[in-house]
Structures are given as C-alpha cells and as structure tokens.
C-alpha cells in the first residue's frame, strides 16, 4: 500500500516538473520571438520620403506591366452603401 502511495506521489512530482519545464521552454520561445520581431523592426528603418520613393517605383512598375492574358470579371461585387439603400 505504501508503494502505491509512493508511485502516485512520484507521478505527481514528475508531472509538476514536466509542467514547469514546458512553461520555461514556452517563456524562452516567447523571448526569442520578441527579440526577432524587435530585430526585424530595426533592420530597415524608413522615413516618409523613402517610403514614398519606394511606393512610386512599385507603382511605375505596375503601370508598365500587363497580364499575359486579359482579366475577365464574371461577377461584380456591390458596395455596402448600395445594398443599404432601399
């Protein structure tokens, strides 16, 4: 009977230790993710002028390109404002 009680206690302590270790691992992962997101934010600092120049280049490239096959719209979605009017 005492052996059964000891087994239960050892299982409880093992479960507690496993829970603690998973919490520690989760905290480590959260810290790593937070550090990576901070690094990603600091890697490419852009001011308003740089963003405007970049978007202009992208817009010019989009204007100059055409799809290989023409786009055919089969259904046109209505705006929410039109749907609300009686």
Question: What tens digit of pLDDT does each residue of 59-72 get?
Answer: 998 888 888 888 88
**Tell me, what DSSP letter sits at residue 77?**
P
Return all residues near 54 (Cβ < 8 A) that are at least 6 apart. Answer: 46
Q: What percentage of the chain has pLDDT greater than the value 70?
A: 64
pLDDT interval class at 28 (50, 70, 90): confident
**What average pLDDT does the structure give for the chain?**
75
* Per-residue pLDDT at 5: 61
* Per-residue pLDDT at 75: 86
Structure tokens given for 28: 């480590």
Determine how many CB atoms are found less than 10 A away from the CB of residue 3.
7
Structure tokens given for 73: 């719209």
CA distance 18 to 26: 12
Q: Which residue has the higher pLDDT, 1 or 64?
A: 64
Domain boundaries, the chain: 2-61
């Amino acid at each position: 009977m005492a052996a059964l009680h000891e087994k239960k206690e050892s299982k409880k302590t093992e479960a507690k230790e496993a829970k603690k270790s998973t919490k520690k691992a989760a905290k480590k992962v959260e810290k790593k993710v937070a550090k990576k997101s901070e690094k990603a934010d600091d890697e490419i600092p852009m001011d308003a002028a740089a963003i405007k120049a970049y978007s202009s280049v992208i817009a010019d490239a989009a204007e100059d390109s055409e799809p290989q096959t023409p786009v055919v719209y089969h259904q046109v979605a209505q705006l929410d404002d039109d749907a609300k009017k009686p």
